[in-house]
Each structure stands twice: as C-alpha cells, then as structure tokens.
Amino acid sequence: MHHIISIGDFDRNGIDRLLDHAGQIDRKKYDSNALGGKILAVLFFEPSTRTRLSFESAIARLGGTSLSVGSVEACSMAKGETLADTVRVVSGYADAIVIRHPKEGAARLAAEFSTVPVINAGDGAGQHPSQTLLDLYTIRQSMPIDNIDIALIGDLRYGRTAHSLASALSLYNARLHTISPKGLELPATLSEQLTEKGMEIIEHDSISDIIREVDVLYVTRIQRERFPDSASYFNVASSYRITPELLADAKKHLIVLHPLPRVDEIDPRVDSLPHARYFEQSRNGVPVRMAMLMQVMQ
C-alpha cells in the first residue's frame, strides 16, 4: 500500500515522474474515468479552501467521488474519538484518505491505522507534500528546477510549505536565499539537515539585496498572531512586501510564488505582471493532485 506522507518519501526520480504525469494530465491526456467507482475520504480537521477543493476536484475529474464529514464539530472526534479509531472506521468506507490535521505527525499515525492509502494534506507545522509538488510543478513550467536560485521570504519558522519545498529543492542542487523577520528564521535543525545534503543557504536582511540574483521568489504569509501588537506586525510586514517597484530590478524570467492565502505580502498591482504565478500555482493543484491520487489509488 502506497501512502504519501512527506516529500521526504520521494527521491528525485519519483518527483520527476509524478510531475511528468501531472504535465500529461494538464494536456488533457488522461482517462476521465481512471478512478471510476473509487471513493476518496476527505478528512480535514483544519480550515482549508484550496487544498480541499482541489483534491475534491481532482477525484471528480478522474471519475471518482469524495465524501467528507464537513467540520470537526460534526464528526466523532468532537465526542473524544481518537484519530486512530476515526481512520480505522473511515478506511472501511473509502479507497483512500486525504487528511489535514493540526498535530504534526497525524498523517503518519493515520497511515499506521488505515487499511487504505493515506495522503497528507498538511499536518500542523509539519509536512504538506502535495503543496510542494505543485510548487515544483509551477517552477518547472517556467524553468528547469536544477541549480535555481530561490528566495524563501516570510515566516520560515512555522511555514510548513517553505520547509517541505526547501527539502525537495535539496535534490535539485538549488541555492537557497532566506529572508525572514527575527525569530521566524528557518529552524536550525532543518538548516543543518539541508547543509549536510550539500545545499547552500544564504541569509539576507532585505529582499532588495538579492532581487537581481534570484530566479524564484517564494513568499509566505507572516501571521499577525506572531507579533505582540498590530503596529509591530505592520512594521515588519511592510518590509517583506513584494511590490512592482521591487520587481523592476528583477531578472526577466523571475517568478513570484505564494501558497496562498496572501494578506499583505504581495501588492495586488503585482498580479498583472508576468512575474506573478501564484494563481496559476494554485490552479496547478488539480493536475498534481490528480497524479497523486492515481499513484496511490490505481
């Protein structure tokens, strides 16, 4: 049985194969009944718009159906049922489970108790492999992933998407530039792991320092609740904002990615520039997740 829990479960070939398959799907080269008669259980214990809808869209486009419990309050976990029991029960109703949970390692636990494949759709500050795969897919639409210079910007301490992406990029000899507010830097243990894998990581104070060098800006949301008051939040957030003026100095082929939702990190005027790829990135969630579902459900 094949689960997808962490981007670390993939090697370079595995990622490339899945992205190739997503590309074929994107070009409409797929059987729209490939998962006909199959049922996907969507177990989301945290709010989500893009991930949830794109998984539901993905299974529908492959001829399957999805079932979900709605909200946490509406399911048995509100009565104190363990996740282990919930997963055991649900795996009797479906052919695969997509799970999002606030606790790190929840998807790994689910895989231990499930009798059907489990896909991790985000576990706390932990892993979010489907996001990483669609991030890589979006980069690959614009340039080869190998040897890119990528800047990770924003909350790099708690941002699971940045952690997973950085890990995956270590397979592609990418150079990592990090720009984050004090206290929200990339965790030291992750930096050490990446450095051991041979990845070059360079910390910077401001985006303008490296805007001429990088190929990809990966922007993440800085959460207000990390700051003592609104004034200090706005003060920090404004210095990490992507604007058309900042991008005026960028390489022509530079792309701006963001896992969304964005709040103040990207000026809406950037949306119309050729650098902006975050809405396309979000759309790419469907073919990439279709490829993932086919990989575990067929």
Partner 1 sequence: MKSSESADNEGLLVRRIKNGTVIDHIDGGEALNVVKILGITGTTQEALSIATNVQSRDMGKKDIVKLTNRELSKEEVDRIALISPRATINIIRNYKVFEKKGVEIPTLIEGLVRCPNPGCISNTHEPIQSKFKVMPNGLRCTYCDWVITKDVTSHII
Q: Does 226 bind partner 1 (CB under 8 A)?
A: no
As given in the structure block, the two tokens for residue 253 are 């082929």
Q: Does 79 bind partner 1 (CB under 8 A)?
A: no
Pick one of 4, 69, 94, 109: the residue that binds partner 1 (CB under 8 A).
109
Pairing of strands 96-101, 200-203: unpaired
- Residue placing its CB nearer to partner 1 in the complex, 226 or 251: 226
Q: Does 84 bind partner 1 (CB under 8 A)?
A: yes
Q: Does 157 bind partner 1 (CB under 8 A)?
A: no
Range in contact with partner 1 (rule: CB under 8 A) among 62-70, 108-116, 133-141, 203-211: 108-116
Q: Does 105 bind partner 1 (CB under 8 A)?
A: yes
Sheet with 200-203: strands ordered across: 200-203, 175-179, 149-153, 216-219, 255-257
Work out the number of other CB atoms within 10 angstroms of the CB of residue 230. Answer: 10
Q: Does 108 bind partner 1 (CB under 8 A)?
A: yes
Q: Does 124 bind partner 1 (CB under 8 A)?
A: yes
Closest CB 124 distance from partner 1, rounded Å: 5
Q: Does 53 bind partner 1 (CB under 8 A)?
A: no
Using N-to-C axis directions, what is the helix angle for 106-113 and 83-90, rounded to 10°?
A: 50
Pair 63, 32: CB distance under 8 Å? yes
Pair 83, 77: CB distance under 8 Å? yes
Q: 10 to 29, contacts with partner 1 by CB under 8 A?
A: none
- Residue placing its CB nearer to partner 1 in the complex, 67 or 89: 89
As given in the structure block, the two tokens for residue 291 are 């490829």
Sheet with 118-123: strands ordered across: 65-68, 39-44, 96-101, 118-123
* Chain position carrying tokens 């996001």: 131
- Cα dihedral across residues 145, 147, 168, 213: positive or negative: negative
Closest CB 193 distance from partner 1, rounded Å: 8
- Residue placing its CB nearer to partner 1 in the complex, 27 or 79: 79
Closest CB 146 distance from partner 1, rounded Å: 26
Q: Is the bond preceding 261 in cis, omega lying within 30 degrees of 0?
A: yes
Closest CB 164 distance from partner 1, rounded Å: 11
Region label for 261, one of left (φ > 0), alpha (ψ between -120 and 50) or beta (otherwise): beta
Q: Does 125 bind partner 1 (CB under 8 A)?
A: yes
Q: Does 195 bind partner 1 (CB under 8 A)?
A: no
Work out the number of other CB atoms within 10 angstroms of the CB of residue 30. Answer: 18
Q: 228 to 287, contacts with partner 1 by CB under 8 A?
A: none
Q: Does 3 bind partner 1 (CB under 8 A)?
A: no
Where on the chain is the footprint of partner 1 (CB under 8 A)? 6, 82-84, 101-106, 108-109, 112, 123-127, 189, 192
